[in-house]
Structure 1
């Protein structure tokens, strides 16, 4: 397969085996969020460090920046303590200290850390960017959600994934894609199933690089997208085909029903451009109400 931008061709190899800060809402479980550098950001407090945190459903662990940790007097790299987010107070949660400079260097205001999937997986999490809101509720306490599609969630390497398909018009590949509200590229493919032989600097195809070749087609949640900005990732597990990032997820209202292992999807109030949507696939097996 080929993903083309200029002279760069990203070729898939099929495997033989399968930014203004917002204050938290008064109602417990909800907070305003915003898109910054293409990712979802929320206000939170981790181990007493209040600030702006990337909200990343595809980060396996919750992180506190090393600069912020040092300023708060923490010397260890593995910590545990209180986290406050969306009006909720969560006690004795694990937190890793990590250097965030590469990931957050372009942000106009400092990023204190990352809220990850380990913190969220016990909850029902709603994410919408039109307007930008995040809610985190215990099972049985979430309000009704009118879904257009329901997809099964499968955990791979600590990441929630759904099935999606990619194609360059010649061949197609279907596999498990992590859902990454903290990733700034519409779609990235595992370097185990993709190549870029025409790239002069292949490292620029990976996260935090500047190359964004175009993917011919992506099938996700019954929709077909063409011309999406794409890239590569080093997948932490061979079962992971890639990730779908915030620029595409922003087209939807999402409910991550982690306890029940499913993703509920509804149209966003105002669709945001990220590739052009050309057709609806005929796969009705995931329709709500089936």
Structure 2
């Protein structure tokens, strides 16, 4: 009788943890947030990117696990939460992960996160994930309205090159590799020798005169371009700028809360 009772208690505890959510250590390097997770039964280090609409599994990891398809449906486990029947794309991620010191198994995207409250602290690096109504108290200095555009969470910000100002929705990218990127529908870098290197994971980092975000003005920021996947999307704010704060993405309530690190 004793052993089955212990096993049942363990299962109940696991179920309770999954219902409440949990926390996980992470690391922040080369401008991206990385966390341990499991996708389609494949454990490893995954980029956590709120601006990637759909979860990805690296092609090499998928092949090693025996998957031949490029579109999979299964479970994603992150910070004590199990999300089932997630559609996962298999993709080559070498360009995105080449600058990181360890193999990356994939990308946890906004599709897994949007039903939860996500807390992110960069130093020390830690995340927490909880259902709406179950998140711990969060003391914030600033609260911004957050909506969705092109399957990405966005807030309003304003970018300036010194003579013109662009105000609009910017995606929040915890896996973005530079402070700010502007849509190539509204911005350019004339005279760039290698225009492709202006895009994510390229080596060129022109400077942006200023960005107004969360009530603060940041000047002379490393910047770049991003493909105009939606004509209304002004750009994205990346982890190097977001890391100045502790963050709460309250996706169900449509709010971004910011606090001092």
- TM-score, normalised with respect to structure 2: 0.90
Moved over 6 A (4+): none
Q: Hey, what does 2:110 align to over in structure 1?
A: 117
Q: 1:72: Cα distance to partner?
A: 0.7
CA distance in 2 between partners of 1:57 and 1:114 (Å)? 10
Question: Paired residue for 1:82, among 65, 72, 75?
Answer: 75
| Kept in 1: contact 2:208–2:221 (CA 8 A) | yes
1:246 and 2:239 aligned = yes
| Kept in 1: contact 2:51–2:110 (CA 8 A) | yes
Q: 1:152: Cα distance to partner?
A: 0.9
Q: Hey, what does 2:218 align to over in structure 1?
A: 225
* Helix, strand or coil at the partner of 1:94: strand
CA distance in 2 between partners of 1:74 and 1:169 (Å)? 50
CA distance in 1 between partners of 2:201 and 2:126 (Å)? 26
CA distance in 2 between partners of 1:83 and 1:201 (Å)? 38
Question: Paired residue for 1:135, among 128, 133, 147?
Answer: 128
1:71 and 2:35 aligned = no
- Gaps spanning 5+ residues in structure 1: where? 1-26, 269-290
| Kept in 1: contact 2:56–2:109 (CA 8 A) | yes
Q: 1:145: Cα distance to partner?
A: 1.0
Q: Hey, what does 1:237 align to over in structure 2?
A: 230
Q: Hey, what does 1:209 align to over in structure 2?
A: 202
Give aligned pairs, total.
242
Question: Paired residue for 1:152, among 145, 149, 158?
Answer: 145
- TM-score, normalised with respect to structure 1: 0.81
* Helix, strand or coil at the partner of 2:111: helix
Q: 1:173: Cα distance to partner?
A: 1.1
CA distance in 1 between partners of 2:247 and 2:153 (Å)? 13
| Aligned-residue CA RMSD (Å) | 1.1
CA distance in 2 between partners of 1:164 and 1:184 (Å)? 18
- Gaps spanning 5+ residues in structure 2: where? 1-19
Which structure shows the higher helix fraction? 2
1:162 and 2:155 aligned = yes
Query: Which is further off, 87-96 or 193-202?
Result: 87-96
* Helix, strand or coil at the partner of 2:33: strand
